[in-house]
């Protein structure tokens, strides 16, 4: 068993990881600690030091770490020897999740979808969505947007914009046409109109698309926000040109923006929706593709995967829906907390006008644009030393991204933002001194 207490490891606490774990590890480099316990908005390292978690597994833990209601549901299920794995056979756990999804998420929102369970990662869901769109339309091309992030398996990666990740493919990434996201060229350029014009031009050079895939808020891409009007236009353009409209709600969904789906108030009805990250509510791997019934044209087993029946995830996902989404109270709370977060970020921006270029994002998916990693990296390091876990996003890692638990207490949120404010001010001051010298 791994023993953090032995003298050799006390001297070099990460020796085991450095010797045995692949170089590909990444978050561990930003947050050099050995995490052991976690509760609510806090993670504790093996020496007992607490950290406020403004990363939450990149929005996997929207309800915080080890939420008591979710944990109890899982412990009860394990205790009665509930089936853990059953391929994609019927299980009671799956049935109960589906009923909660229908009764408390889909029906109240007037939505009718079939649920396709894929392998348990977001990329698995995106792969399935892209394959299904191609199968249904008989077309190959998929339109994805600048700064989009859809996962790193080859199909999903072809839709992802980031060159660092794309470079890791070492093979051509085919079948996707990149188009500018909402606001990519500034507020005065209508990128939806451009897309429509290019698709409408027989010499526009863009093959007829099977689908257009979009994130309503770009998580990894830098908290860029699509307007409701732009989303409606993109949906219309997709349908006008015979393509499906896919919304990737893997990071922005499950309440992150203040509603269960991030596009709920936008007046769009996606043909396909991909979900993962916070869907299980407890950090258990689980992914879901919601498909309009008429598009559910798979033949049995045509797309599969061994781990489509993670019953523990079904149990906690149902418990999460029951606990947080049985009525509108939680959403209202999240919206309030999101306003508190935004107000405080605005204050930090005002106090540090030299380095903070603006505020990005929506709801509880907000952050500070500090221009470059020359500012964001030292802030992340300084914050970590003071007990705050916060990460960056964007093409230049220029966005300090706050992904706190949605149910974080005001006190914990304020404490984390106090650390963030101090660290931004500290780095701003250091940079001002540096440039004056
Ligand atoms: C994280 C993410 C994915 C990929 O999910 P994985 O579980 O890492 O494969 C896809 N789309 C979006 C929007 C994401 O944020």
Question: Where a domain ends, among 289, 324, 359?
Answer: 324
Tell me: pLDDT of 141 over 70: yes
Q: How far is Cα 285 from Cα 278, in angstroms, rounded to an integer? A: 9
The answer, yes or no, to whether any atom of ligand 1 lies below 6 A from the CB of 344, is no
User: What is the CATH number for 383?
Assistant: 3.90.1150.10
Question: Where a domain ends, among 258, 293, 324?
Answer: 324
pLDDT digits (tens, 9 = 90+) for 234-262: 999 999 999 999 999 999 999 999 999 99
Q: Looking at the CA of residue 58, tell me the nearest atom of ligand 1.
A: 1
- On whether residue 158 sits in a domain, the answer given is yes
Give the residue numbers spanning the domain of 257: 68-324
pLDDT above 70 as % of the chain:
97
Same domain, 319 and 334: no
pLDDT digits (tens, 9 = 90+) for 54-84: 999 999 999 999 999 999 999 999 999 999 9
Which residue's C-alpha comes closest to atom 10 of ligand 1?
150
Domain count, the chain: 2
- Coil, helix or strand at residue 340: helix
**pTM for this predicted structure:** 0.96
Rounded to 5°, the CA angle 122-342-50 comes to 65
- Coil, helix or strand at residue 149: coil
Sign for the CA dihedral angle at 218, 220, 222, 223 comes to: positive
- On whether residue 231 sits in a domain, the answer given is yes
Helices (H), 252-406: 311-324, 329-351, 373-385
pLDDT band at 437 (very low <50, low <70, confident <90, very high): low
Ligand 1 pocket: which of 55, 123, 257 to mutate (most atoms <8 Å of CB)?
123
pLDDT digits (tens, 9 = 90+) for 171-226: 999 999 999 999 999 999 999 999 999 999 999 999 999 999 999 999 999 999 99
Q: How far is Cα 314 from Cα 309, in angstroms, rounded to an integer? A: 8
User: What is the CATH number for 146?
Assistant: 3.40.640.10
pLDDT the model gives residue 1: 45
pLDDT digits (tens, 9 = 90+) for 260-309: 999 999 999 999 999 999 999 999 999 999 999 999 999 999 999 999 98
- On whether residue 384 sits in a domain, the answer given is yes
Same domain, 220 and 265: yes
Same domain, 88 and 141: yes
The answer, yes or no, to whether any atom of ligand 1 lies below 6 A from the CB of 215, is yes
pLDDT the model gives residue 435: 77
Cα 230 to Cα 110, 171, 198, 359, distances in angstroms? 22, 33, 16, 20
pLDDT the model gives residue 433: 81
The answer, yes or no, to whether any atom of ligand 1 lies below 6 A from the CB of 221, is no
Tell me: pLDDT of 4 over 60: no
Same domain, 347 and 395: yes
pLDDT band at 434 (very low <50, low <70, confident <90, very high): confident
Same domain, 153 and 259: yes
Question: Where a domain ends, among 268, 291, 324?
Answer: 324
The answer, yes or no, to whether any atom of ligand 1 lies below 6 A from the CB of 248, is yes
From ligand 1's centre to the CA of 413, what distance in Å? 25
DSSP 109: G
Same domain, 167 and 248: yes
pLDDT above 90 as % of the chain:
95
pLDDT digits (tens, 9 = 90+) for 73-121: 999 999 999 999 999 999 999 999 999 999 999 999 999 999 999 999 9
Same domain, 22 and 156: no
- On whether residue 1 sits in a domain, the answer given is no
Same domain, 42 and 85: no
Tell me: pLDDT of 320 over 80: yes
From ligand 1's centre to the CA of 219, what distance in Å? 9
Q: Which two tokens stand for residue 203?
A: 């010499």
The answer, yes or no, to whether any atom of ligand 1 lies below 6 A from the CB of 122, is yes
Q: Looking at the CA of residue 277, tell me the nearest atom of ligand 1.
A: 7
Same domain, 227 and 203: yes
From ligand 1's centre to the CA of 127, what distance in Å? 11
Same domain, 137 and 19: no
Same domain, 53 and 72: no
Which residue's C-alpha comes closest to atom 15 of ligand 1?
251
DSSP 140: -
pLDDT digits (tens, 9 = 90+) for 326-379: 999 999 999 999 999 999 999 999 999 989 999 999 999 999 999 999 999 999
Q: How far is Cα 32 from Cα 29, in angstroms, rounded to an integer? A: 6
Tell me: pLDDT of 6 over 60: no
The answer, yes or no, to whether any atom of ligand 1 lies below 6 A from the CB of 256, is no
């Amino acid at each position: 068993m791994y023993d953090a207490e032995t003298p050799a490891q006390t001297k070099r606490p990460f020796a085991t990881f450095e010797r045995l774990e692949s170089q590909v590890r990444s978050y561990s480099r930003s947050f050099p600690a050995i995490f052991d316990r976690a509760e609510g908005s806090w993670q504790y390292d093996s020496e007992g030091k607490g950290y406020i978690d403004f990363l939450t597994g990149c929005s996997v833990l929207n309800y915080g770490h080890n939420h008591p209601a979710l944990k109890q549901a899982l412990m009860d299920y394990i205790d009665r020897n509930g089936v853990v794995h059953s391929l994609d056979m019927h299980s009671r756990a799956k049935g109960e999740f589906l009923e909660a999804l229908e009764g408390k998420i889909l029906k109240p929102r007037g939505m009718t979808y079939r649920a396709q369970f894929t392998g348990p990662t977001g990329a698995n869901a995106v792969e399935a969505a892209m394959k299904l769109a191609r199968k249904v339309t008989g077309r190959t091309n998929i339109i994805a947007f600048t700064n989009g992030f859809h996962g790193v398996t080859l199909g999903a990666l072809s839709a992802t914009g980031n060159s660092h990740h794309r470079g890791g493919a070492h093979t051509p990434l085919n079948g996707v046409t990149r188009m500018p996201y909402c606001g990519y060229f500034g507020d005065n350029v209508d990128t939806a109109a451009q897309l429509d014009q290019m698709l409408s031009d027989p010499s526009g050079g863009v093959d007829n698309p099977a689908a257009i895939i979009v994130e309503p808020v770009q998580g990894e891409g830098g908290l860029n926000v699509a307007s409701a009007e732009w989303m409606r236009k993109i949906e219309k353009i997709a349908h006008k040109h015979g393509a499906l409209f896919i919304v990737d709600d893997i990071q922005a969904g499950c309440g992150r923006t203040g509603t269960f789906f991030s596009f709920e108030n936008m007046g769009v009805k996606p043909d396909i929706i991909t979900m993962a990250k916070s869907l299980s509510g407890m950090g258990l791997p689980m992914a879901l593709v919601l498909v309009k019934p008429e598009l559910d044209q798979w033949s049995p087993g045509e797309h599969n995967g061994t781990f489509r029946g993670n019953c523990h995830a079904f149990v906690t996902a149902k418990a999460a829906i029951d606990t947080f989404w049985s009525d509108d109270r939680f959403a209202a709370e999240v919206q309030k907390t999101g306003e508190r977060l935004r107000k405080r970020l605005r204050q930090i921006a005002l106090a540090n006008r030299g380095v903070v270029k603006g505020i990005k994002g929506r709801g509880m998916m907000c952050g500070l644009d500090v221009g470059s990693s020359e500012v964001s990296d030292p802030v992340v390091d300084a914050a970590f030393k003071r007990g705050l876990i916060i990460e960056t996003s964007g093409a230049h890692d220029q966005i300090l991204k706050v992904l706190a638990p949605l149910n974080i207490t005001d006190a914990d949120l304020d404490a984390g933002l106090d650390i963030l404010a101090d660290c931004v001010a500290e780095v701003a001051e250091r940079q001002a001194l540096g440039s004056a010298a």
